[in-house]
Chains A and B, each alone.
Chain A
Amino acid sequence: MFNYVFDTIYFASYSNFYGLSNISLSLGDMLFAYIVAIICSIVVALLLRLPLLPSKPYRYSFDVSAIYPTPIIAIGILSIFLVLNYTFMFNGLVLAAVIGVLSALFVKYLFDFVFPTPLDENSGDDMNE
């Protein structure tokens, strides 16, 4: 079924969705690997007792959660592996699962150390007011 989807999209598309990269996976396999990475990262993040949603107010919260930014980190790093054409085995599914687990561990234990929360609005030197 994925081959059929790939052929349809390939014939309909004017520009190539692989760009200049040399990816050996088909579009369906690539999509499957992304979905596996997203689900793996969210499930492992929930198992590590990260909250599902960031704390309120949602749009200004710096807290990490299972929905954001764990899947973003997972699919970003998986994309780098795909672009380098390193898909370990089973069309990249094992790689996707490992990256999902590692990104959840990174968000839980290392994220605050790498990207510290910025200072409060009221602290720090004030130039204008």
Chain B
Amino acid sequence: MNEVIGIIIAAVLCWLNFVIVDTYFGLPEQPGVRGARIIGKDVEKRGGDIAGGFFQGNILCSPDASAGTLMASIGYMLLGIPGGIIAAFLVFIGNRLCADPGYAGTTGCLTATAIIFLASFIGLTPEMFIVGMVIAIFTIMGIDQARISVVLGKIAEKFNRHARE
């Protein structure tokens, strides 16, 4: 497959994977650590949504499904399917060190491994997923935090996981 098209498809798949897994496991609902609360309040002050702010603070402060997807891509590129599962194990250890139960991280890692395995049938390579995941995290954290937090808040409302504050 053409590399540019592959990277775009991989970025969309990664974005959907980690936003859906993270939202389902309640990242927008409450800040897991104190730093996430500070980031959420700051994003809200700049005109964003508090649930989206908590989401951004949580994926910044502990390895959740975003880091899981990235590490699963790297592990799959290096070591195949066992690499993706080793990535899930490492993300779990990192989660426990960051005062996080770790459900989102390990689930995101395993689903990302499954997605990369299935996508290899249509010619997407793990390298495309690494680049796509970097682009996906850049859209969440890098371009406009306040505006993307409104979008994340709407997704959280759809999953019934909006912050109760």
Contacts from A to B (Cβ < 8 Å): 12-21, 23, 27, 30, 34, 58-62, 68-69, 72-73, 75-77, 79-80, 82-83, 115, 118-119, 126-128
Contact = CB atoms under 8 A, between A and B. Distances in A.
Nearest to B117: A17
Interface string B115-143: 00100111111100000000000000000
A14 B101 CA distance: 36
B164 to A, nearest CB: 13
Pairs A-B, 3 closest by C-beta atoms: A76-B89, A19-B80, A118-B99
Given A17-B117, A80-B86, A69 B78 contact: no
Contact of A76 (B79, B85, B96, B126): B85
A76 B80 contact: no
Contacts of B77: 19-20
B102 interface: yes
8 contacts: A19-B79, A30-B82, A59-B101, A73-B89, A82-B82, A83-B86, A118-B99, A119-B99
